[in-house]
Homo-oligomer: A and B are copies of this chain.
C-alpha cells in the first residue's frame, strides 16, 4: 500500500467511531488540527472519493429532508492504513511557519519595523491562544486523552511563544539601539 497524503489521514482519523460528512470533517479540522494541519473543501471532497475507491472508507446517504448528505465511516482496511501511518515516525523536520520566516529576514527592515514583526507575532499568538481556549471550553473533557494533550500542549506552546516574543523584543531594545552597521 502506497503512502497517502496527510489530508487523507486526517480524514481517516476523523471518521473513526462516528460517521461524518465532508462538511463535518471540515468543521472538525477548523476546530482542532487546523493549527498544525489545515484542510480545504477542495481537498476534502476529492479525497473522500479517492478513499472510498480505495476501500478505506464507505459512504452512506443520510439526507436531512431533501438536502442530500453523505456520511463516511472507516473500514477495517482504513483503520489498518491509519495505524500503519501512525507507527512510522514523522518523516519531515519542517515546522512550517510564515512568521518565523519573516522574522528571520527582518534585518531587511529598519530596526523599529523589525520589532514590529515580533509584536505582530506576539499578537497573533495571543489571538490563537484565545481561540484555543474557546475550543478547550467547547470540548469539555474528551474521553480520548491524546487529542486533549495536543490541545493543552497547543495552549502551553502558544503562551510560551508569546512570552518569547516579548523577551526578544526587550532584548533587542536593550542591545545598542543603533548598532546597525553597513
The secondary structure that dominates the A interface is helix
Can you list 28 A-B contacts (CB < 8 A)?
Answer: A9-B105, A10-B101, A13-B108, A16-B108, A33-B104, A35-B93, A37-B94, A37-B96, A37-B97, A37-B98, A37-B101, A83-B109, A86-B102, A87-B109, A90-B102, A90-B124, A92-B98, A95-B95, A96-B96, A100-B153, A106-B146, A107-B144, A143-B181, A145-B172, A145-B179, A149-B172, A153-B164, A157-B164
Q: Report whether B94 and A34 are in contact in the complex, using a CB–CB cutoff of 8 Å.
A: yes
Which of A43-51, A58-66, A112-120 is near enough to bind chain B? Answer: A112-120
> What string of 1s and 0s marks CB contacts (under 8 Å) between A16-50 and chain B?
11000000000000001111111000000000000
CB–CB B108/A86 < 8 A:
yes
- Enumerate chain B residues within 8 angstroms of A71, measured Cβ to Cβ: none
Q: Which residues of B contact A91 (CB under 8 A)?
A: 98
Which residues 153-175 in A have Cβ within 8 Å of B in the complex?
A: 153, 156-157, 160-161, 164, 168, 171-172, 175
The answer to whether A149 touches B168 (Cβ under 8 A) is: yes
Copies of chain A in the complex: 2
How many residues of chain A get a CB closer than 8 Å to chain B's CBs?
69
Distance in angstroms from A179 CB to nearest chain B CB is 8
Q: Is A126 among interface residues, defined by CB-CB distance under 8 A?
A: no
Find chain B residues with CB under 8 A from A147 CB.
104-105, 107
Checking B90, B106, B179 against A121 with a beta-carbon cut-off of 8 angstroms, the contacting residue is B90
Whether, in the assembled complex, A140 has its beta carbon less than 8 Å from a beta carbon of chain B, the answer is: no
Q: Which residue of B lies closest to A117 (CB)?
A: B86
Residues on the B chain within 8 Å of A82, using CB = 105, 108
CB-based contact A86/B109 at 8 Å? yes
With a CB–CB cut-off of 8 A, which chain B residues contact A182? 17, 143
